[in-house]
Structure 1
């Protein structure tokens, strides 16, 4: 039922197409899917078409044989009538001309193909499969009404009907062979003679063929029980337009099935092109939306990772970059997560790195500078304090016993190296003092403090 529109009225479609006897062989080949244009046929469903609904399988052969008999019988009857009238010259002329086709020359041909169908959506809206029933109930009901309408209006002249289920929409084809018996026109004779007749193919004997609008009215009433409606009233619209002085709509004419099929295929191709363009436009819009969603979700994921301490900004990189926050433990999962986020939206990942890189600098840059300044000041103070204490120790140690002076001297030997390292860390630029040396004067006896 996909795509069905329950708010619209679906019309029953009736089309007539002219048909000549010599076209029956091609018509039959197409029916059996052995020839003709099969591009619109779903060959996997051809087995569903089934046997003819009206007429035998060899209906086309029987029709051609009957037309040959009509031709022969008409020729014999014409010669017999001329002979009775003693028209020897006319007999000689007709013998040279030979038999004539049993129909008058017309634009559409002496036979008719009938097509009965409805919109594909109407057939697809059938509820049989939903209710667990087999087949398509709408197709079956349409088929019954179509067969009864054909037999009611054309009787034995409908020599063939079939249902096609392997094309776009379910439809029924029928062939009308309009048999008629007519009198042979002849000049008035002094002596009355028997009336001569011919068997002919004459479509106008059927009101449904003679009057297109009457046929549309008829099928509209016939298929009304199925909820189908009559098609557009072209004749009434033309008459009303003429009365009002408006441009009348184009009148519908009986079209050849091949022409109608070509028009339908062209229309469907144009519709398919439009649908393809709509599909591509939808895919483009969808891709844009998905890209924006992925970008936003990537930024949010990075924000969450920075917030809970899993990600950090690499301050040593030339451009802002995200890294796992700690190197002291296994962060393979964080690395994989960062790689996955970058793959998901490179644009979003780059934007997040730039945004959080700037924020990181604003948040921690000033604090680090202040901390470094405070640390440098603290180290400088400590260096000064240690140096002052060392001076006092150097003065006091001169008054201590020799063993005590020796011990203190060993301890003081490490102080210059400590001071040197502290000065370097404080960034004061003070001259380094090598380990184990002191620039103060030594005692005259050469002893160390």
Structure 2
């Protein structure tokens, strides 16, 4: 084959995951895209997935074989105990019943194998091997099947190629079958020997030695231009030998667990983005509101300065109204109030109060001065009237009667003066009321 166009910087990826027989049902559901996490799956390409090793019902056959191993092991154990005349042990085992055909382990008695390369390698040169681009997937799958059969033989009970995810990859399941002795033969009783069938991953050197497995796939896939992955174990040993801090061991999470962790991470990032967006929207709204408020205040100020807005004569609080005498403003007070109620209220209050302090003070001062002038004039009239009354005492009776008639018009004159002066002091009004009394003329006559 012509490998001149093949890139040589892509490492082949190999992973082992522990697997228990009871997990095969979920494994099959995900393989058939009927269960499990399918968010990462392109369902339109699922029909392109390909079974490489094993029959369609491989999982059911594996479970049946494991159940058969349980029964056979139990029967063989009882037969061995009977030949050795271990009656109590027979009774105990009869109560316990058949046992699972594997020793308790942290990873489980079976292994799932995953083989793949970065997706960029599969999307490489179209002229790969002189045929279509998809041949990279075919060649990788053929190499994977050959490597699996070479190292695990018939214990590879299933393998498939997935093409509906981010990168082409091969899944395989290994059921490591082993036959072990359950009782060593005695010198005089050779027939006491018995064996049992077990699931024992350590019978395969590449499962027992992960670095050896990485070396193996690196060499096997080298003719495709792929290389071995980073040798972290060697780096750790070298660092320890040199007294340096070794690099952290890489943690390979199970696929479903890794996806769950990624979903949680993406969800947290999305929630953080939503919170940031909400905060940004809130800040933007506040800035826009403040801009509208500032523009409204400026518009009101311009209207007051041009005379388009003037102070109202409200009884409760001084406000602003549109002036009919001046040229209308660009925006009416009603429009400004709709634009920013807060800004309008603030501007109207400020300019209204300023207007009141400026013109209200002058009006009050003018009214006070007018009241003072009226009061002074009324005092002068009262003094003149008193002088007239005193002088009339020395005049003839006919003249006094004429003067009395003239003096009767003075109260009306005072009232008109009071109205024109915007009100008289309370004491002046009381004195004037007393002068309106008809008995005043009689008192003058009596003085005569």
TM-score for both structures, normalised by structure 2: 0.56
1:196-207 superposed matches below 5 A: 196-207=194-205
2:63: which partner in 1? 64
Aligned to 1:18: 18
Tell me: CA distance 1:135–1:232, structure 2 relative to 1, closer, same or farther (3 Å).
Answer: closer
Decide whether aligned partners of structure 1 residues 129 and 49 sit closer, same or farther in structure 2, where only a CA change above 3 A counts.
Answer: same
**Pairwise mapping of residues 27-426 of structure 1 onto structure 2 (< 5 A)?**
27-50=27-50, 52-127=51-126, 134=132, 136-185=134-183, 191-252=189-250, 255-262=253-260, 269=266
**Contact 2:186–2:192 (CA<8 Å) still a contact in 1?**
no
CA distance 1:141–1:129, shift in 2 (3 Å): closer
Q: 1:184 to 1:115 in 2, by over 3 A?
A: same
Question: What is the rounded CA distance, in whole Å, between the counterparts of 1:206 and 1:255 in structure 2?
Answer: 22
| CA pair 23-44 structure 1, distance change in 2 beyond 3 A | same
With over 3 angstroms needed to count, the CA separation of the structure-2 counterparts of 1:130 and 1:238, relative to structure 1, is: closer
Shift of residue 185, structure 1, vs aligned partner: 3.9
How far did 1:258 drift?
2.1
Asked if 2 retains the 8 angstrom alpha-carbon contact of 1:11 and 1:231, the reply is yes
Report SS of the residue matched to 2:70. helix
SS at match of 2:95: helix
Separation in structure 1 between the aligned mates of residue 246 and residue 262 of structure 2, nearest angstrom: 24
Q: Conserved in 2, the CA contact under 8 Å of 1:157 and 1:177?
A: yes
Q: How many Å apart are 1:234 and its aligned residue?
A: 1.2
Q: Any idea what the Cα deviations from partners look like across 1:371-407, whole Å, max 9, x if unmatched?
A: xxxxxxxxxxxxxxxxxxxxxxxxxxxxxxxxxxxxx
Question: Secondary structure of 2:161's partner?
Answer: strand
The verdict on how the C-alpha distance between 1:180 and 1:253 changes in structure 2, with shifts beyond 3 A counting, is farther
Shift of 1:250: 2.6
Q: Give the superposition deviation at 1:140.
A: 0.8
Distance across 2 between alignment mates of 1:150 and 1:97: 38
Count of residue pairs the alignment pairs up? 267
Alpha-carbon separation, structure 1, partners of 2:238 and 2:264: 31
RMSD: 2.8
The structure whose Rg is larger is 2
SS in 2 for 1:184: strand
Secondary structure in 1 matching 2:10:
coil
What do the CA deviations read for 1:200-229 (whole angstroms, capped 9, x no partner)? 000000011000000000000000011110
